[in-house]
Amino acid sequence: MQIDYASIEKKWKERWEQDGVYRVSHDDPRPKYYVLDMFPYPSGSGLHVGHPLGYIASDIVSRYKRMDGYNVLHPMGYDAFGLPAEQYAVQTGIHPAISTEDNINRYRNQLLNLGFSYDWSREVKTCDPRFYKWTQWIFLQLFHHYYDTERNTARPVAELIASFEANGTHGVHAAHSYEGTFDATTWQAMTPKEQDDVLMNYRLAYRKISYVNWCEALGTVLANDEVKDGVSERGGYPVERKAMLQWSLRITAYAERLLRDLDDLEWTDAMKTIQSNWIGRSEGAEVEFPVRGRDASIRVFTTRPDTIFGATFMVLAPEHPLVAEITTPDQQLEVRAYQEQAALRSERERIADVKEISGVFTGAFAVNPVTGRSIPVWAADYVLMDYGTGAIMAVPGDDTRDGAFARHFDLPIVEVIDRSAFPDAEVGDKVGTLQNSDFLNGMEIPEAIEATLRHIETQGLGVRTVQYKLRDAIYSRQRYWGEPIPILYDQDGVAHAMDVQELPHELPMLDDFQPSGTSSPLARLPEWVDAGNGMTRETDTMPGYAGSSWYFLRYMDPYSDDVFASPEAIAYWKDVDLYIGGTEHAVGHLMYSRFWHKFLYDKGLVPTVEPFRKLINQGMIQGVIEYLYMYKEKVDGYTKFLCARLAAQHPEELFARIPILVTVVENYGTPDSYLSTRSIEQLIAWRPEYEDAIFECSKGVYHRGTFTPRDGAAGSHLYTDSEVGKMGKRYHNAVNPDTVVAEYGADCFRMYEMFLGPIDQSKPWDTNNIDGVSRFIRRFWNLFHSDQDAWQVTENEPSGEELKILHGTIKRVREDIERYSFNTCVSHFMTATNELKKLGTTSRAILDPLVRLIAPFAPFISEALWEQLGGSGSVHLTDYPKFDASLLIESTITYPVCINGKKRTEADFTADASPADIEQVVLALEAVQKWIDGKTVRKVIVVPKRMINIVV
């Protein structure tokens, strides 16, 4: 019995396309449901079996919801701007537009092969000018707005200008980068450039000189979430801190809302925790410490104002502007040397040297405002310029870092917390009572914090504040393949937004993509840079996250040229009901999208505060990685490989561990993976440069087609190292879904990926289990067909037992789809098929609903069977089966009756009475009378549907 998957799939793919089965419109009376996949970056190596995992899950939900009466928006598109395409262009000279288009076409075909129910007419690409016109437009809206911290909403910059004209900064409550006050006359006296600079302090998209993550190798700056462990996330190149004039987005203005609104989202706790840690809210106070003998004061941020009596010195970040001002002449040289050294250190070195204590005394003293004592002011790089105020009051008695610093430089330490009642507590733990702290003595810490806050506020020493770790997002990229920033500069350097009519501001064609120093390749096009009228264009482009921060809105109305999406479409589709994608976007894409969405909400352009109501993070499908040990130096002029087990006896510096094509390895993925003589030949066929290489096995040496055994041993085992890790091109272990589909069919591939385990778990790709799913599909098919491939569905009345199996399965499958447990759904199908097979079911009344039930999982064979059943149109447009609860209730249920949890007997009860009924309990008591004779019944516990337990 053979099922011709290929022709079934071809036929239905064409039919779906022709009939527009998955086309949707917002002009529809049904309730909407929006299922979104994180759109892929179309890389050169195509999809591997790991990519579709989330797409299969979202497709199942889409099909299920569609059959269950919803109007389902389920679109797909491409995140098409970005570094890899440009790096590829640098290497090959092929224009990114061309390679990207090729990659997109390959991706689309691969996705089509898997039978996804996307509305392909809504496909978007972020590199399409019709799309990025609106990316640029939203950027300009950010440019034209500031954040009103009193009304908690974005407001037009024009209103801010009006305020400045009338009252200067008086009465203005706006999120800003640095403090600065002025009055109306000062504002009116400013030059346009000076006014522009002031406005940049408030705009939500602004330009300023700031310390940024500069990556020399990539020739661009990177946002914080694009840097991991001091190296670039893409490519792993070193990143240094550099002061540059850059565009940024004021995401910090939304920090509080981004944090607070997490509560209402149906995201995993892990995801919410990552985001809230990234936002990093801490409550505390800013306190002023006057500098002795100078008209200056140092403002510090602290979360522990209660420890202020223990503040015995102060530390400023080396870049802190006050350092130069307060340093005494005799400390000048030393301080300047320290500042220079700190500036030169790369981010990576700084992280590596965390445990090294360094710092320098400025010679200046400040006054502790509560003790009135003079305390020395130091500069040290353990204080960061861009957190808090860039300065701290050091409390060596209750902070481990301050303590270490004090001991290292022999500074005074005052113990302000008495922790004697908590022997296990460590320095910095918020337990204990205050000591050596004047009016705070004897208080518990929370009480002392509150008392100190009141004190400093009434005395005018400082104010309560909230700090966030979240930083503004650097928005400029000095690269070619991205959206041009639609800004022009006049001769004075004042930034001017382009008009909406001038958008899209198209990316000009270029054939030299080589990065050049600190400016974009676009700067090499003088005729493009010159915008006429003495204006010049911004040459930086937008970062990778620009387009993806709002693409889900464009799907709602992908064609409009007048708006980013029509108000009608947005009013109907509202937000994403279910979003599926990987955890790797936790702090990048998902944070920026939420920020943009909130801004658009403030503008009244979207109806919801949050873009993604429910988020599921699919796990990664991992691959087996096989490594071979290669000598770093050539041996006698030859490349030499060594068996893993022999390599283990040698110092590891001798070798490079190189990943090789997994499929040439025998027993790959096991501890006994090895290369045989034959597989060495396959390896050479794959990498001809190793034709001359020497392979030293456990039992001899293989060289140029000849195996020379040692000590007369026969056979060669060149053991390799197996590991489970990422699937991808560089590990030579990527499995293309197309080949799996060609062998087993798309339905089998889909169900297999779901069957592997819970959607949110990572798991290795393991082809052993796929046969089990393939067998199931054949068994399922054979419920409908006899051994001779004859159609055997009858009009027989189904038996009660058959109906029970069917409705039990419908109930479980519906419930499990609703809780996104797709692996158990597949199990339910298997169980039902096994049971129905045993009963010899051929009844249409059972098999017809069964086909509809499985349709979201196996879209192709369900269409084929549906057609044979004589159903009209596509099975995916029929109703999803509903279960009849009455069929599931048994007329008599036998309950175990237990005494003290020990089962004693069983008793029959009728189903329509709840076992909780007194009558039932009496029945139970009678049933166990002989065991409870003479004992008092203390209580009777009725476990619904389970048992009756009598405690004596």
Number of residues that bind RNA (CB under 7 A): 76
Decide if residue 419 touches RNA (CB under 7 A): no
Give 326-337 as a 3 state SS string: HCCHHHHHHHHH
CB of 603 to RNA, least distance (A): 30
Rounded least distance, CB 302 to RNA, Å: 4
Q: What is the DSSP string of 647-689?
A: HTTS-GGGEEEEEE-GGGSBTTTSTT-EE-HHHHHHHHHH-GG
**From 166, 901, 919, 926, residue interacting with RNA (rule: CB under 7 A):** 901
Q: Among the candidate windows 16-24, 630-638, 672-680, 829-837, which touches RNA by CB under 7 A?
A: 829-837
Least separation, in Å, of the C-beta of 404 and RNA?
A: 8
CB of 271 to RNA, least distance (A): 9
Exactly one of 218, 542, 616, 830 binds RNA (CB under 7 A); which one?
830
CB 657 within 8 A of CB 629: yes
> Which of 67, 172, 898, 924: binder of RNA (CB under 7 A)?
898
Q: How far is the CB of 628 from RNA (least distance, A)?
A: 22
CA neighbor of 48 nearest in space, from 522, 529, 895, 735: 735
CB of 759 to RNA, least distance (A): 9
We find the least distance from the C-beta atom of residue 519 to RNA, in angstroms, to be 28
Task: Identify which range of 79-87, 213-221, 919-927, 941-949 contacts RNA by CB under 7 A.
Answer: 941-949
The answer to whether residue 741 forms part of the interface with RNA (CB under 7 A) is: no
103 touches 97 (CB < 8 A): no
Instruction: State which of residues 136, 583, 673, 841 lies at the interface with RNA (CB under 7 A).
Output: 583
Compute CA distances 704 → 162, 634, 693, 694, 814, whole Å. 83, 16, 7, 8, 61
Return the residues of window 745-784 that contact RNA according to CB under 7 A: 755-758, 761, 763, 767-769, 771-773, 775-776, 778-779
Contact with RNA (CB under 7 A): which of 153, 518, 608, 824? 824
Smaller CB distance to RNA: residue 26 or 778?
Answer: 778
Query: How near is the Cβ of 619 to RNA at its closest, in Å?
Result: 8
Binding range to RNA, per CB under 7 A, among 300-308, 558-566, 595-603, 850-858: 300-308
Q: Are 664 and 686 in contact (CB under 8 A)?
A: yes
CA–CA–CA angle 904, 907, 908 (5° rounding): 165
Residues 215-244 as x/- pattern, contact with RNA by CB under 7 A? ---------xx--x----------------
Q: Does 211 bind RNA (CB under 7 A)?
A: no
* Residue nearer to RNA on the CB measure, 512 or 890: 890
| Contact between 739 and RNA per CB under 7 A | no
Nearer to RNA, 703 or 726 (CB): 726
List the one residue from 38, 218, 542, 586 that touches RNA (CB under 7 A).
Answer: 586
403: number of CA atoms within 13 Å, CB side? 10
CB of 755 to RNA, least distance (A): 7
Longest pairwise C-alpha distance within the chain: 107
CB 775, min distance to RNA, A: 4
In 448-585, the DSSP E strands lie at 462-468, 473-474, 487-489, 495-497, 530-532, 535-537, 576-581
CB of 413 to RNA, least distance (A): 15
> Residue 302, interface with RNA (CB under 7 A)?
yes
Smallest distance, RNA to C-beta of residue 681, A? 18
- Specify the residue, 153 or 465, whose C-beta has the smaller distance to RNA: 465
At residue 516, φ and ψ (nearest 5 deg) are -135, 100
**φ/ψ (deg, to 5) at 367:** -110, 125
Name which of residues 312 to 351 contact RNA (CB under 7 A). 317, 350-351
> Measured from the CB atom, is 698 or 905 closer to RNA?
905
Q: Which stretch binds RNA (CB under 7 A): 213-221, 519-527, 868-876, 937-945?
A: 937-945
* Segment near RNA (CB under 7 A); pick from 38-46, 245-253, 474-482, 818-826: 818-826
Residues in 241-280 at the binding interface with RNA, rule: CB under 7 A: 269-270, 273-274, 277-278, 280
The tokens for 390 are 């860039």
Q: Contacts with RNA in 40-99 (CB under 7 A)?
A: none
Q: Is 707 helix (H, G, I), strand (E, B) or coil?
A: strand
Query: What Rg, from alpha-carbon coordinates, does the chain have?
Result: 35
Residue 469, interface with RNA (CB under 7 A)? Answer: yes
Helix (H, G, I), strand (E, B), or coil: what is residue 38?
coil
d(CA 455, CA 462): 9
Q: Is 946 in the site for RNA (CB under 7 A)?
A: yes
Structure tokens at 763: 């798991």
- Closest contact distance (angstroms) between CB of 343 and RNA is 13
Minimum distance from residue 637 beta carbon to RNA (Å): 38
Q: Which of 39, 41, 81, 301 binds RNA (CB under 7 A)?
A: 301
Q: Are 285 and 308 in contact (CB under 8 A)?
A: no
State the Cα–Cα distance between residues 525 and 477, nearest whole angstrom: 17
Name the β-bridge partners of 657: 629
Chain residues 377-406 in contact with RNA, contact rule CB under 7 A: 381-384, 387-392, 395, 399, 401
Site for RNA in 3-42 (CB under 7 A): none
Q: Angle at which helices 859-868 and 844-854 pack, to 10 degrees? A: 150
Site for RNA in 473-532 (CB under 7 A): none
CA distances 810 to 801, 845, 851, 942, Å, are 14, 14, 11, 28
Site for RNA in 619-638 (CB under 7 A): none
Distance of CA 122 to the CA centre of its chain: 24
Would you count residue 811 as binding RNA (CB under 7 A)? no
163/842 with CB nearer RNA: 842
Q: Quote the least distance from Cβ 53 to RNA, whole Å.
A: 13
List, in order, residues 6 or more apart from 112 with CB less than 8 Å away.
Answer: 13
CA-nearest of 693, 699, 696 to 715 is 699
- Choose, by CB under 7 A, the member of 834, 868, 910, 914 that binds RNA: 834
Helix, coil or strand: residue 222: strand
CA distances from 284 to 305, 317, 450, 541 (A): 7, 19, 10, 38
490 phi and psi angles, rounded to 5 deg: -90, -175
CB-based burial, 314-330: b 16+ in 10 Å, e otherwise: bbbbbbbebbeebbeee
Nearer to RNA, 153 or 268 (CB): 268
Single residue of 340, 353, 450, 692 touching RNA by CB under 7 A = 353
